[in-house]
Amino acid sequence: MSKAYDDLMTAFAGESRANRKYTAFAKQADAEGFPQVARLFRAAAEGEAVHAAAHFKAANEIKTTKENLEAAIEGEHYEVVEMYPPMIADAQEEKYAAATKSFTRAWNVEKVHEALYKAALDTLGTQTEVYDYWVCPHCGFVQAKNAPDKCPVCGHPGSDFFKVV
């Protein structure tokens, strides 16, 4: 690829990280009773998301839905097979409990994401039912149609899940 493409993807990664970081900072500011600062962080996070989307689009990384599903499956599969297992092992070796928990939960959830993407790809163009997804705010587990009584990955109550339409 070209240097400009590499730069676009580097910028995309940086802007994406900034979006997530500022979103987390906003939650902390809210928790500490600083609503104006929280709003600033959320506004800046949205601006970073706009930048990330523009860079990703300029890099021609948004393809057909079929190709996007295939890319998503590939990404989730990489995380499940190659990325998280050594991270979990490293954290366990270092006895870093918080990292082990975070990596293990993400690893288990990425398996679900991969399966959901595969199911969507398998039924692409044939499925007519439209339904919502429910996301666990503690571990990122995703379930179609309704929230479970309890998250199968982290055990949090289904009443904590939020709906994505």
Is residue 10 within 8 A of residue 28, CB to CB? The reply is no
Is it the case that residue 12 has pLDDT exceeding 90?
yes
Digit-coded pLDDT (tens) for 52-82 = 999 999 999 999 999 999 999 999 999 999 9
Report the residue count for the chain: 165
Digit-coded pLDDT (tens) for 71-120 = 999 999 999 999 999 999 999 999 999 999 999 999 999 999 999 999 99
Could you tell me the residue range of the domain that residue 137 belongs to? 65-164
Residues 14 and 92 placed together within one structural domain of the fold: no
Residues 54 and 70 placed together within one structural domain of the fold: no
**Residue 102 in tokens:** 């975070």
Residues 97 and 25 placed together within one structural domain of the fold: no
Residues 131 and 157 placed together within one structural domain of the fold: yes
Residues 110 and 158 placed together within one structural domain of the fold: yes
Residues 108 and 151 placed together within one structural domain of the fold: yes
Residues 27 and 9 placed together within one structural domain of the fold: yes
Tell me the whole-structure pTM to 2 decimals: 0.89
**Total domains in the fold of the chain:** 2
Gyration radius (Cα) of the chain, Å: 18
Residues 39 and 18 placed together within one structural domain of the fold: yes
Residue type, 21: K
Residues 51 and 73 placed together within one structural domain of the fold: no
Residue type, 50: V
100-137 CB burial, b ≥16 within 10 A, e <16? beebbbbbbbbbbbbebbbebeeeeeeeeeeeebbbbe
Residues 38 and 93 placed together within one structural domain of the fold: no
Spatial neighbors of 5 by CB under 8 A, at least 6 apart, are: 59
Task: Count other C-beta atoms under 10 Å from residue 13's C-beta.
Answer: 13
Residues 78 and 143 placed together within one structural domain of the fold: yes
Residues 38 and 75 placed together within one structural domain of the fold: no
Query: CATH code at 134?
Result: 2.20.28.10
